């Protein structure tokens, strides 16, 4: 993706933000920390203002660097946004739990589903989702990014879980990719829609009941008529 591929970079060079400066070159540690500092500032601005309303000048000022430094360390505005989104979602995906492999298939799926709802109902993730929905018609690359990060990343984890269970003989030999997509839709759609529109809160007890019911219905639909999957 080339600079300015989604949105223009802005005007001119941004002066460093006011405040004390350390003369000379930054230490190796400070230089290594710059990308995260830039992404921290960018994430706050994007989630608060949206993609279009956030400028490179604002990101540079928030990070205490020049606009040139943004290009050198991360990239243009679209690349900064993509990097901030990937980092944010990657950190939350680390919380996904498929439980101990010694547990039953049902227990693993319920544990995965409950941790998944914790991620997708996170306030920052919901704000990000609203931004991407609002901006996607004008900037299709943002929609592609969301699909890549939220659908494919989580989908891949669930496919791996189902394949592992199939190898153990606890899940039928059906297409794990399609099965995972069905289960993700069953778990995510209604809670996320409800919270996005402010219809009803989803406390942990309600999430647990919902996931347990979705997993039970999913497994009943997957199992052969004369077998039981537990």
Over residues 27-69, the pLDDT tens digits come to 777 778 899 999 999 999 999 999 999 999 999 999 999 999 9
Write out the two tokens for 161: 């879980």
Residue-level pLDDT at 97: 66
What's the CA dihedral at 101, 103, 107, 113 to 10 degrees?
Answer: -20
Q: What's the average pLDDT block by block, 10 residues per block, for the chain (230 residues)?
A: 41 43 60 90 94 95 95 93 88 72 90 92 89 82 74 85 93 93 94 86 93 96 62
Report d(CA 143, CA 132) in Å as an integer.
6
Q: Measuring CA to CA, how many Å separate 131 from each of 51, 81, 126, 196, 227?
A: 7, 11, 9, 12, 45
Report d(CA 156, CA 136) in Å as an integer.
23
Q: Considering the entire predicted model, what is its pTM? A: 0.74
Report d(CA 121, CA 127) in Å as an integer.
10
Report d(CA 197, CA 19) in Å as an integer.
42
The structural domains of the chain, ordered by start, are 28-85 (1.10.10.60), 95-222 (1.10.357.10)
């Amino acid at each position: 993706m080339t600079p300015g591929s989604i949105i223009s970079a802005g005007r001119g060079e941004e002066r460093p933000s006011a405040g004390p400066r350390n003369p000379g070159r930054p230490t190796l540690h400070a230089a290594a920390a710059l990308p995260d500092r830039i992404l921290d500032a960018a994430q706050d601005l994007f989630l608060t203002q949206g993609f279009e309303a956030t400028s490179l000048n604002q990101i540079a000022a928030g990070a205490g660097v020049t606009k040139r430094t943004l290009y050198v360390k991360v990239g243009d505005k679209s690349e900064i946004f993509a990097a901030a989104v990937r980092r944010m979602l990657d950190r939350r995906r680390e919380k996904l739990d498929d439980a101990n492999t010694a547990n039953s298939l049902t227990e693993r799926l319920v544990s995965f589903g409950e941790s998944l709802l914790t991620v997708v109902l996170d306030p920052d993730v919901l704000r990000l989702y609203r931004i991407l929905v609002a901006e996607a018609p004008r900037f299709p690359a943002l929609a592609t990014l969301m699909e890549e990060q939220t659908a494919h990343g989580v989908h891949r984890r669930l496919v791996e879980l189902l394949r592992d269970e199939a190898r153990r003989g606890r899940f039928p030999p059906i297409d794990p990719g399609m099965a995972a997509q069905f289960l993700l839709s069953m778990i995510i759609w209604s809670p996320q829609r409800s919270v996005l529109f402010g219809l009803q809160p989803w406390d942990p007890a309600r999430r647990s009941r919902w996931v347990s019911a979705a997993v039970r219905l999913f497994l009943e639909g997957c199992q052969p008529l004369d077998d039981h999957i537990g």
